[in-house]
Amino acid sequence: MGLPTEAAPWFQSCLLTSRRPRRVGGPLQLLPCSDPGAVALRERAALSTASTEPMASQSGNGSTSLANSGRTAIPQPGHIEALQATAAYLMTPGKGILAADETIPHPTKRCEALGIASNAEFRRSYREMLFTAPDLADYISGVILQDETIRQNSECGVSMAGLLAGRGILPGIKVDRGAKPLAGYPGETVTEGLDGLRERLAEYVKFGAKFAKWRAVIRIGDATPTLACISANAHALARYAALCQEQALLPIVEPEVLMEGAHDIGHCEMVTGAVLEAVFRALYEQGVTLEAVLLKPSMVIAGQDCAKPASVKQVAAATLRTLRRHVPAAVPGIVFLSGGQDERLATTHLNAISNLAGSRPWSISFSYGRALQDPALNAWRGRSENRTVGREALSFRARCNAAASLGTYNDTMEATAHFD
């Protein structure tokens, strides 16, 4: 088996498999070696051996030819500067993003676990509590809203987006319509929502949204992810990002590799690298301007059922190594999702990543959902008399993560929590 020495043939073989009959590409393979250099080689080898199809078959849609290299950038004149300014604002040093965009069943499930009945008014009230937390704007530069929330008003009649903007926090909006089963690939999903997206984006701009997000979900299993799943999700992310830039919304591109499973950290590193390669290839093909995009990846971490959990040091090193290898320097910022990690561990990992030495062309911060909200929800428990402690719990977690984004978090900060 010959190893390709250039990235380009590897890219092409990766793309080729997406047009082949089902299952031909198969899952990514993991070879038994943990040396970082060899990891990159085995990634390429595993993917290149997945395809034996001649490259000439790519000519069908011309998507990888150079014919599109002379295309103009998607953002309209003037848009690009505005999008870059939004990116710079969101990546203000010492601040991060609060993801408050769970789809309705998610907060409902979490509320049920706490014995709280969830309805639209309840969710509005919960989110208003979050958005009015003290000092939130000191640590949070943007909040990702859900379609339901961006259409709601606060108690005093101001729109939720207006409430945030009035505090100096940029409102954003989740625009995908969720991960749906990928036909022909049991257990895998493709994120949907491209139909009518242009019109929805235009509407969200009118509601005051400044940025958007789209989440793709990649599951590691014995036979997953397949290249078909990776390329379908990468393509959708790129189409979404191009539409956002056209409509003057900054796209956050979120390819999440799930923590569910028994895989080890090396397996996660291989899959995350392959996913990022496919995503940036697709962004390039769709003419997305990388200077006006933020990446929201998962950290490189062992699966939650792995017998050999990775140390904080290992997670930080593998995450930064993978990002350095696969994320172009033109991208202004990377904001991690928490992915179901325990909230303190998510903070500790971010802090360790921030403290690693070596070059880092992009700014790094957080865009956490559960790791920011869970302590607030637990403190609040749906009772009006707990609103103050709920707000304090969110502010406290945001402060810890803001410190972690600067590498100045430590365990003693946890002892300063007053809301328990």
313 labelled catalytic? no
* C-alpha to C-alpha distances, 150 to 147, 161, 203, nearest whole angstrom: 5, 6, 11
Q: Which residues 6+ apart lie within 8 Å of 279 measured at CB?
A: 216, 233, 234, 237, 238, 253, 255
- Please tell me whether residue 370 binds ligand 13P under the rule CB under 6 A: yes
Does the footprint of ligand 13P cover residue 99 (CB under 6 A)? yes
Q: One of 95, 174, 213, 296 is an active-site residue; which one?
A: 296
Under rule CB under 6 A, residue 326 binds ligand 13P: no
- Window of 224-232, 260-268, 333-341, 405-413 that interacts with ligand 13P by CB under 6 A: 333-341
For ligand 13P, which stretch binds (CB under 6 A), given 104-112, 127-135, 230-238, 334-342?
Answer: 334-342
Query: Binding segment for ligand 13P among 115-123, 196-204, 308-316, 335-343 (CB under 6 A)?
Result: 335-343
Kindly tell me which residue out of 143, 169, 310, 371 binds ligand 13P, with binding defined by CB under 6 A: 371
Size, binding site for ligand 13P by CB under 6 A: 11
101-120 residues near ligand 13P, rule: CB under 6 A = 101
Would you say 298 or 354 has its CB closer to ligand 13P?
A: 298
- Per the residue annotation, which of 254, 269, 277, 343 is the catalytic one? 254
Of 42, 44, 110, 215, which one interacts with ligand 13P (CB under 6 A)? Answer: 215
Question: Which one of residues 48, 338, 348, 351 is an interface residue with ligand 13P (CB under 6 A)?
Answer: 338
369 binds ligand 13P (CB under 6 A): yes
Known catalytic residue at 109 = no
Closest CB 99 distance from ligand 13P, rounded Å = 3
Q: How far is the CB of 366 from ligand 13P (least distance, A)?
A: 8
368 binds ligand 13P (CB under 6 A): yes
Residue number with CB closer to ligand 13P (301 or 371): 371
Decide: is 337 part of the binding site for ligand 13P (CB under 6 A): yes
Amino acid type, 106: H
Contact residues toward ligand 13P (CB under 6 A) are: 99, 101, 215, 254, 337-339, 368-371
Catalogue the active-site residues: 254, 296
